[in-house]
Amino acid sequence: MGIKAVNLNYIYGQGTAFEQYALKDVNFEIQDGEFIGLIGHTGSGKSTLIQHLNGLLKATSGEIYVNGENIYSPGYNMKALRSKVGLVFQYPEHQLFEVDVFSDVCFGPKNQGLPKEEIERRAREALSLVGLDESYYSQSPFELSGGQKRRVAIAGVLAMEPQVLILDEPTAGLDPRGRDEILDQIDRLHRERGMTIILVSHSMEDVAKYADRLLVMNHGEKLFDGPPKEVFKHYKELEQVGLAAPQITYIVQDLRSRGIDIDDNITTIAEAKEAILALLSGKEKT
C-alpha cells in the first residue's frame, strides 16, 4: 500500500498574526513494505506530517494519494483510511480509558463495526504481538507499568489491522530494555507481516539499525531522503539542523582520520564490530 505526498503545504493559524508554515512543499513516495525512519529536530514538522497521512490534519494545499486514491477527493472514506493507516501518537498510554486492558484494545476494531468474535480475535492477536499474555487482559490499564501501558496502547492501534503503521517516538520515556523490546516488536511486524512502518525518532542509532530509508525534515521542508548510509554521509549538514549521525559513525570517521582504512559506510555498532575485527585479523596475518 503506497503513500504519495505531492506538494504538501500546511500553514498554522492562517489569517492571523501567528501564521506559520508547518510544512512547505513536501514531496515523497512510500512503497509497500518499506521501513521509513522520519527524523528532524523538535518543531521540524514531523508530527504535523504524519497526522496528514491518515487525514487527521488537512493540508492547506497539495495532495496525498493512498493506494493511488486522492484522500482529499470528495466522498473519500476517512474512517476507512484510519483503519488502513494506523497512527500511534507520542505517549499513547495517555489515550487509555477503559476499565480493563482487553476492552481498551477492543475499542478500535469495535469502531470499525466488526462482529464480536472478530473484534476479540483481533484484540487477542494484537496483545500477543506486543507480548502481553492473558494474565493482563482483565487488569486495569492504569495499574500497569509505563512500558506495559505503552504496549497496550500500541496493541489498541494494531488491533485495527492497519497496513501502514506510523509511530511517533514510541520509545520516549522508556528505559533501555523497554525501548529495545518495543523496537524489536515493531521490526518483527515489518519483517514477518510485511507491514509498512514509519518510525518517528530522535535516536539516530535506532533509525540506523531498523530503517531502510530515512526522511529528514527541517523547518517543515524535506531535507534528505535516502537510505541511512547515504543520509548519514551528510553528518555535517545534519549537525547544522540540530541532528547528528549515529555515534559509531563518528568513531569510524575518527579512525579514518587517523589513517585506518575502515569503510565509511558504517552506521551500526554490529557493522563496526565486524569491520574492526576484520581489520584486526587482517593485521595479525601480515
**Could you tell me the smallest distance in angstroms from the CB atom of residue 82 to another protein?**
6
Question: Applying CB under 8 A, which of residues 54, 148, 171, 196 lies at the interface with another protein?
Answer: 54
Mark residue 269 as left, alpha or beta (left: phi above 0; alpha: psi -120 to 50; beta: remaining): alpha
What does the block give as the cell for 109?
476494531
Question: Applying CB under 8 A, which of residues 6, 24, 41, 51 lies at the interface with another protein?
Answer: 51
Is 161 in contact with 171 (CB distance < 8 Å)? no
Question: Applying CB under 8 A, which of residues 44, 48, 83, 148 lies at the interface with another protein?
Answer: 83
Q: Is 111 or 138 the residue whose CB approaches another protein more closely?
A: 111
Question: Applying CB under 8 A, which of residues 31, 61, 94, 282 lies at the interface with another protein?
Answer: 94
Among positions 151-190, residues that touch another protein (CB under 8 A) are 156-157, 160
Q: Binding segment for another protein among 63-71, 84-92, 219-227, 245-253 (CB under 8 A)? A: 84-92
CA distance 51 to 69: 17
Q: Is 93 or 206 the residue whose CB approaches another protein more closely?
A: 93
Q: Is 162 or 220 the residue whose CB approaches another protein more closely?
A: 162
Q: Binding segment for another protein among 20-28, 49-57, 181-189, 252-260 (CB under 8 A)? A: 49-57
Check residue 48 for interaction with another protein (CB under 8 A): no
Amino acid at 55: G
Give me the sheet containing 85-88, strands edge to edge. 85-88, 164-168, 196-200, 35-39, 213-218, 221-226
Q: Binding segment for another protein among 91-99, 119-127, 170-178, 207-215 (CB under 8 A)? A: 91-99
Q: Is 89 or 232 the residue whose CB approaches another protein more closely?
A: 89
Q: Which long-range contacts (CB under 8 A, 24 or more apart) does 229-235 make?
A: 229/265, 229/267, 232/204, 232/208, 232/267, 233/264
Is 39 in contact with 215 (CB distance < 8 Å)? yes
Question: Applying CB under 8 A, which of residues 37, 40, 45, 86 lies at the interface with another protein?
Answer: 86
Q: 76 Cβ partners below 8 Å, 6+ apart?
A: 69, 70
Mark residue 11 as left, alpha or beta (left: phi above 0; alpha: psi -120 to 50; beta: remaining): beta
**Could you tell me the smallest distance in angstroms from the CB atom of residue 98 to another protein?**
8
Produce one character per residue of 129-156: b if its CB has 16 or more CB atoms within 10 Å, e if not: bbebeeebeebebeebeebbbbbbbbbb
**Could you tell me the smallest distance in angstroms from the CB atom of residue 94 to another protein?**
6
**Could you tell me the smallest distance in angstroms from the CB atom of residue 99 to another protein?**
10
CA distance 216 to 232: 10
Interface mask (CB under 8 A) for another protein, residues 106-125, using x and -? -xx--xx-------------
Q: Binding segment for another protein among 89-97, 129-137, 206-214, 236-244 (CB under 8 A)? A: 89-97
Check residue 191 for interaction with another protein (CB under 8 A): no
Three-class secondary structure assignment of 85-151 = EEEECCCHHHHCCCCCHHHHHHHHHHHCCCCHHHHHHHHHHHHHHCCCCHHHCCCCHHHCCHHHHHH
Give me the residues that bind another protein (CB under 8 A), please.
Answer: 51, 54, 56, 79, 82-83, 86-89, 92, 94-97, 107-108, 111-112, 142, 156-157, 160
